[in-house]
A and B are shown apart, each in its own frame.
Chain A
Amino acid sequence: MTRRSIYKFRLYVADDTMNSAQATANLHALCKSHLSGRHEIEIVDVFKEPQRAILEGIRMTPTLLRLAPLPIRRIVGTLMDTQRVLETLGLDTKVV
């Protein structure tokens, strides 16, 4: 992967539950600090679009999908452990 690659995220949330709100905030903060200017975030509310949750097999919320670059990665939870999230997303500082 190159430094220039665009990161596409989709975050499945449930209404305005606490977990979902935290995850949303954490994702935005993380993108700002590590992927400034090269990320896209789509927020999907499972209650508003349950069909998409079914198709994607979303059981737990919040669930973060990294759609690009491939392969698709999934992280469940509030994304509070930044280091772990970065490792999973391939944004480990060493790699960067």
Chain B
Amino acid sequence: MNHSRTIPREGNRVKLDHLSLPAALRKAPSGITGFDEITGGGLPRGRTTLLLGGPGSGKTVFALQYLINGARTYGEPGIFVAFEETSERIMANAESFDWKLAQLRKKKLLMIDAQPNFDLVQTGDFDLCGMLAGLGLQATQMKARRIVFDALDIVLAMLPDLSARRREIYRLHEWLVNRGMTCIFTLKASADNANSITQQPYGFMQFMVDCSVILNHSVVAGVSQRNMRVQKYRGSSFDENESPFVIGDGGFDVAIVRTLGRADVKVTNERVTSGVKRLDTMLGGGYYRAACVLITGFPGTAKTTLSGAFAEAACRRGERTLFVSFDSDGSEVIRNLASVGIKLDRYLKSGLLRMVSARTIVGSAEMSLVRIKAIASAHRARCLVIDPVSALSNSGTELAAHGVGQRLIDWSKADRITLVCTSLLNEIAEHSETDTPLHISTLSDTWIHLSYVVQAGERNRGMSIIKSRGTAHSNQVRELILSNAGVTLADIFTAGGEVLMGTMRWQKESAERVADEVAEVAGKVKLVTLDAQQAELEVRLKAVQTELLAKQLEKTLLARTTASRKAVILHGSVRMRELRGGDAPKHK
């Protein structure tokens, strides 16, 4: 295609898909969460879209929401032609959504009742020109750009034969194309064979329209499951897979695994504390901001406590936090956490923390996710705890739950929410440490596993970090200690290659303490003894030195006396001889 096309670049490098510019002009955004992403921008502008679905699959809701968003957000007034329900009933039903329809009516959203009168006497062939003439005038008057024909099958059923139906559909189609209005036909399809619609009476419509969307409402394992699939879209790429959707307070919410063409979320090196100082040290500083942290463990291994510590720390930093509990009521969680020194009630009062008991959320995993997302964005949460996330997999199929887990993480990362999920591991289940019900373990950034370590007839809580992407982390299994002063990790004591926990650790700790004391005392005694010995030796040394000095003096004296005596003797004998005059002096 237009690879050579030059796209003006502004200051920062803006990457534009070469298709995105013209495509944006060619499409009429529906404004429905997820749908515009699936179709790369919305419905084909100035063309017709067929919306197929069984009873209660949400055709009317989708079509109405498309018009409302068009009128409100995109400045495109619309007409809703109701063939089945009266417009009053449709409006009354729409009141249950937060669409605030009343202010839109008349000028930007026209509801036309076109329910056929079944008492109508009919002889011979007829056509829909009367309706088109009227619509043409109204569309011109209100400058309508969008139009919906709801339950077209009703009016088609009145036409006598297939060729008449075909003729009228093509007439309608041509009229729409000439006017350049973006149109949705909704059409009933039996719920179970929406795919084999081509065999159904209006199958030709699927070939005529430019876009065809199938809504499916089924019950899987006792849980309602809604799916949407774009079957065809002329001149555009689209997500061909089934996408689950829910109809919530705001209308349609289509779940998409990954926003097409979405830029990677800006990653950050910012750390947030886990609420347990020693755990932060093990993780090299804490969790990453906007990371997904998974805490797995058997029942009672303090998963909730660990996530509560995180929530408390987040609130202490002044970050808005949402705590979703599937197991117990919010007040119960707060009471239980208070017993281990995690005091959340003050943050609940100040509004920083919001507790949600998800037991009140009924429906599929998809529904729960949508609710959680809605509550989190209403609360503007920066930190989110889901306890336990494995509860999501309780309803519906495993595959659906897996998708939900993936979307949960995608969403939290995109919204830069730090997510802490706990996940219950089934003690009986084979997969033990290796897997979590939602397969969330492979997607999470940090995985902390809590377990019971049975040693010397005791169960103690052991904690280890199975993985932590992008951060150095300790390989040590640590003992998790809960007390009314809070949560902490015990010092490491090993013996015989085992990390000691519980009373064994305590014994070892006290034994070491006693041994320390004994050694200290012994040392002191030894020191004193040595001091005494040293003093004694020093005294002895002094005495000996003094004695030595005396001896030296004595020796000097002795030498001197000896010498003088010799001299005296020698001198004396010579003198004596001289005196006697006997001998002449020798050598003279």
Contacts and interface: CB of A to CB of B under 8 A. Distances in A.
Contact of A59 (B121, B122, B128): B128
A60 B130 CA distance: 5
A77 B137 contact: no
Given A51-B137, A54-B137, A63 B130 contact: yes
A85 B62 CA distance: 42
Given A50-B136, A50-B137, A59-B114, A77 B124 contact: yes
A55 B305 CA distance: 69
B131 interface: yes
A18 B134 CA distance: 20
A81 B122 CA distance: 9
A78 interface: yes
Contacts of B75: none
Interface in A18-62: 18-20, 22-23, 26, 46-47, 50-51, 53-54, 58-62
B133 A47 contact: yes
Interface residues of A, number: 34
A88 B121 CA distance: 8
B125 interface: yes
B124 A80 contact: yes
A18 B124 CA distance: 12
B558 interface: no
B129 interface: yes
Contact of A76 (B120, B134, B136, B137): B120
Contacts of A26: 124
Interface string B111-139: 00010110011111111111101101110
B235 to A, nearest CB: 32
Contacts of B134: 46, 50, 53-54, 58-59
A17 interface: yes
A19 B129 CA distance: 10
A92 interface: no
Interface in B128-161: 128-131, 133-134, 136-138, 155, 158
B123 A50 contact: no
Nearest to B131: A59
B168 to A, nearest CB: 9
Given A50-B134, A59-B114, A76 B121 contact: yes
B143 to A, nearest CB: 16
B123 A61 contact: no
A20 B120 CA distance: 18
A15 B121 contact: no
Contacts of B128: 59-61
Contacts of B131: 58-60
A79 B138 contact: no
Interface residues of B, number: 22
A17 B129 contact: yes
A19 B125 contact: yes
Contacts of B130: 12, 14, 46, 53, 58-61, 63
Residue of A47, A59, A76 ringed by the most chain B CB atoms within 10 A: A59
Contacts of A20: 129
DSSP majority for the A interface? Answer: mixed
Interface in B243-279: none
B219 to A, nearest CB: 37
Given A51-B137, A53-B134, A58-B134, A46 B124 contact: no
A96 B356 CA distance: 77
Given A50-B134, A50-B137, A53-B133, A62 B126 contact: yes
A11 to B, nearest CB: 11
Contact of B125 (A54, A58, A75, A77): A77
Residue of A17, A76, A77 ringed by the most chain B CB atoms within 10 A: A76
A15 B122 CA distance: 20
Nearest to B81: A59
A93 B377 CA distance: 74
B152 to A, nearest CB: 13
A78 B435 CA distance: 70
Nearest to A87: B121
B585 to A, nearest CB: 179
B123 A75 contact: yes
Given A47-B129, A60-B131, A85 B123 contact: yes
Given A59-B116, A75-B121, A46 B127 contact: no
A12 B133 CA distance: 11
Contacts of A8: none
Given A46-B130, A59-B116, A79 B124 contact: yes
A76 B126 contact: yes
A74 to B, nearest CB: 6
A60 B126 contact: yes
B250 to A, nearest CB: 33
A14 B136 CA distance: 13
Contacts of A23: 124
Contacts of A54: 134, 137-138
A15 B136 CA distance: 14
Contacts of A12: 130
A19 B120 CA distance: 17
Given A54-B138, A59-B116, A77 B133 contact: no
A38 to B, nearest CB: 22
Nearest to B137: A50
Given A54-B138, A59-B116, A19 B133 contact: no
B127 A61 contact: yes
Given A14-B130, A79-B124, 14 more contacts: A14-B129, A17-B127, A50-B137, A54-B134, A59-B130, A60-B126, A60-B130, A60-B158, A63-B130, A75-B123, A76-B120, A77-B124, A77-B126, A84-B123
Interface of B: 114, 116-117, 120-131, 133-134, 136-138, 155, 158
Which A-B residue pairs are the 7 nearest by beta carbons? Answer: A14-B129, A78-B124, A46-B133, A80-B124, A50-B137, A77-B124, A58-B130
